[in-house]
Chains A and B, each alone.
Chain A
């Protein structure tokens, strides 16, 4: 499948944190032909296992890309002269400045499309003008009278944003939920490439749940699969107008490798070496204190998992016009496949060495 079509399918499927079943179904359909088995666990994460060619017992690498996206939830149904309106709250780090004027779907007894509306600025109390809408004065209006709305919708129903994926110029694409469906697309590309590539390790690719709220799927998948190595795949703020001056995170500049407290240096180096082998340019995303991706929860699962982090550059994160470069997504997929194909039976013994004597690395080209 063309990367754009793959991404379109993934991003347009609704999957607010806590209600990812529709995305899991799509991902399972995409991954099942590429792996040996798939399973959805108790919290809703989808795990796909592709067995390696090495002798048993084989080590396992876990790839974690979260399938949830930001969303909203109904907190109250309010009545205005017989017309019903939905009051909302956020699921994950929703930026309220972007809500007014969006189209959204409430997943009640049936899916109802509505608009996020509010009073025009000129009619708001003076001190509220020019501000982001608070959840106290924003409503989702699906056009139904209160009585009918109450039959179809209840407090606690999930709300997802509705936004088609579109092409911009120059291989750029824009839409909602590229955080983190771009990474699910990259993992899909990785699994496709592994069809023609020998790898000795077992690969468990997991589409995790509730990353945006609490890393639930990463905690539980790290425990359940007890991998020898884990790599989280997520998005990073790309350089753009007003964004930071990092020279390493350029849209179209290739994936970034996370570096910091939760990253095992040997996994970082393995990713870097894989990029070198592909002659692929990669950046570095320094994050001294960690948190913010599934890597945070994976690192401390069980007795501790050596964890790496790969990030796809993204502009306008957590909005409905998240923008990525298709090349970066494809490169991320190729890099993951290369990493996996290069894992051998010396990797784990060397990994301990790496931590103890980082200056003794055999093939460091610096």
Chain B
């Protein structure tokens, strides 16, 4: 699975600019789908039809976009001022590298800072692409960049700049490959856009699909590093079944079903209560007349930094759990 992970996590895809990621995923899923389409927002919707009568519509969402930056101003000397795309912390910037869609590499510098203990706000950082003036700068206002960092696999631990949420895309692709030829539900795998800027892609897709059941695949935080927040999720303890995050409370029946399937299949798993952040499950929950929404989370350390780290065993467990949920009856 590492080759698949590497190709996806290193691809360019800040929110709103997911084309390259979509182009990678589409040929991988087409052999396993009855129908593949792209909607007006850019969501890749992969449909696998049910075998039986009156099937449930199940939407599975993993977002293709990643956090990044966008140029807002080019100075006369050719430096770029920029804004954030999604939740970018100023403490993750200085000395980092970014890459624009055309391949231009930039390094991030900051205005003079005499107080070494203070972190400049994002607005006092700039990007240096080697230009000497506005005229020879290859970057225009509005161009987006992602953080540049190679994929690293070290034992079970996998580190990359965009585990959030390419690892969810990997889980979805891998589940599509492993699902039996006939499934009891109408499955809509949505590789969504613009999650990091307010779960916008999934909102549009869910309002089109009007699912009965919605399952997001996304990363969650952990409580297993020094001085961590009080949270029970640990890297390597298996996929996490979300009960609540700050955007939604998962459908209690769906949570129960996921636990049951995990136990039946002997999949090590953990329960997740997250105090910050939300996922594509949130817009699915309130789409149309509402749906039973939940999320299978992949525990991830250092979320929204260029070194997001997951455990390969948790990824494998998430695939198994998703396959177990989708290939069996869903009674809520």
Binding site for B on A (CB under 8 A): 17-19, 21, 41-45, 73-77, 87, 89, 91, 135-136, 154-156, 210, 213-214, 216-217, 219-221, 223-224
How far does the Cβ of B252 sit from chain A's closest Cβ, in whole Å?
6
Decide if B248 is an interface residue (CB 8 Å cutoff): yes
Is the Cβ of A136 less than 8 Å from the Cβ of B272? no
Pick from B241, B270, B271, B292: contact of A42, CB under 8 Å: B292
Extra 15 A-B pairs, beta carbons < 8 Å, given A75-B232, A89-B275, A220-B288? A17-B249, A42-B251, A42-B291, A42-B292, A75-B275, A77-B232, A89-B244, A135-B230, A154-B271, A155-B243, A155-B273, A156-B271, A213-B248, A214-B282, A216-B286
Which residues of chain B are within 8 angstroms of A213 by Cβ–Cβ distance? 248-249
Pick from A21, A45, A73: contact of B243, CB under 8 Å: A73
Is the Cβ of A219 less than 8 Å from the Cβ of B230? no
Q: Is the interface of A mostly helix, strand, loop or mixed?
A: mixed
Q: Given A210-B249, A216-B285, are A43 and B271 neighbors across the interface (CB < 8 Å)?
A: no
How far does the Cβ of B139 sit from chain A's closest Cβ, in whole Å?
39
How far does the Cβ of A281 sit from chain B's closest Cβ, in whole Å?
37
Pick from A17, A18, A136, A221: contact of B230, CB under 8 Å: A136
Would you give the 0/1 interface string for B241-279, flagging 1 where the beta carbon is closer than 8 Å to chain A?
Answer: 101100111111001000000000000001111010000
Would you give the 0/1 interface string for B196-221, flagging 1 where the beta carbon is closer than 8 Å to chain A?
Answer: 00000000000000001000000000
Pick from A89, A91, A156: contact of B255, CB under 8 Å: A156
Total CB contacts across the A-B interface at under 8 A? 85
A–B complex contacts, Cβ < 8 Å, 13 sampled: A18-B250, A43-B290, A43-B292, A76-B230, A135-B230, A156-B255, A156-B272, A213-B249, A214-B247, A214-B286, A216-B286, A220-B288, A221-B289
Pick from A43, A45, A76: contact of B291, CB under 8 Å: A43
B side interface size, CB within 8 A: 29
Pick from B250, B251, B272, B289: contact of A155, CB under 8 Å: B272
Q: Given A75-B231, A76-B232, are A220 and B273 neighbors across the interface (CB < 8 Å)?
A: no
Would you give the 0/1 interface string for B215-239, flagging 1 where the beta carbon is closer than 8 Å to chain A?
Answer: 0000000010000001110000000
Q: Given A73-B243, A155-B270, A156-B255, are A224 and B290 neighbors across the interface (CB < 8 Å)?
A: yes
How far does the Cβ of A142 sit from chain B's closest Cβ, in whole Å?
18
Is the Cβ of A19 less than 8 Å from the Cβ of B252? yes
Is the Cβ of A73 less than 8 Å from the Cβ of B292? no
Pick from A44, A89, A221, A224: contact of B273, CB under 8 Å: A89
CA distance A154 to B230 in the complex (A): 15
Which residues of chain A are within 8 angstroms of B250 by Cβ–Cβ distance? 18
CA distance A326 to B81 in the complex (A): 61
Instruction: Select from chain A the residue with minimum beta-carbon distance to B290.
Output: A220
Q: Given A156-B243, A220-B289, are A43 and B251 neighbors across the interface (CB < 8 Å)?
A: yes
Q: Given A43-B291, A91-B244, are A74 and B273 neighbors across the interface (CB < 8 Å)?
A: yes
Q: Given A75-B273, A156-B273, A214-B247, are A42 and B230 neighbors across the interface (CB < 8 Å)?
A: no
CA distance A21 to B252 in the complex (A): 10
Q: Given A75-B232, A155-B243, are A42 and B273 neighbors across the interface (CB < 8 Å)?
A: no
Q: Given A18-B244, A214-B248, are A223 and B289 neighbors across the interface (CB < 8 Å)?
A: yes
Instruction: Select from chain B the residue with minimum beta-carbon distance to A154.
Output: B271
How far does the Cβ of A337 sit from chain B's closest Cβ, in whole Å?
27
Give B287-311 interface residues, CB cut-off 8 Å to A: 288-292
Is the Cβ of B289 less than 8 Å from the Cβ of A42? yes
Which residues of chain B are within 8 angstroms of A154 by Cβ–Cβ distance? 271
Which residues of chain A are within 8 angstroms of B241 by Cβ–Cβ distance? 156
How far does the Cβ of A276 sit from chain B's closest Cβ, in whole Å?
36
Which residues of chain B are within 8 angstroms of A216 by Cβ–Cβ distance? 248, 285-286, 290
Task: Across the A-B interface, give the 9 residue pairs with the lowest CB-CB distance, nearest first.
Answer: A18-B249, A220-B290, A156-B243, A224-B289, A43-B290, A155-B271, A156-B271, A219-B286, A76-B232
Which residues of chain A are within 8 angstroms of B275 by Cβ–Cβ distance? 75, 89
How far does the Cβ of B165 sit from chain A's closest Cβ, in whole Å?
21
Query: Which of A17, A42, A74, A135 has the most chain B CB atoms closer than 10 A to its own CB?
Result: A42
CA distance A136 to B290 in the complex (A): 34
Instruction: Select from chain B the residue with minimum beta-carbon distance to A76.
Output: B232
CA distance A285 to B289 in the complex (A): 30
Pick from B231, B273, B285: contact of A73, CB under 8 Å: B273
CA distance A89 to B274 in the complex (A): 9
Which residues of chain B are within 8 angstroms of A221 by Cβ–Cβ distance? 289
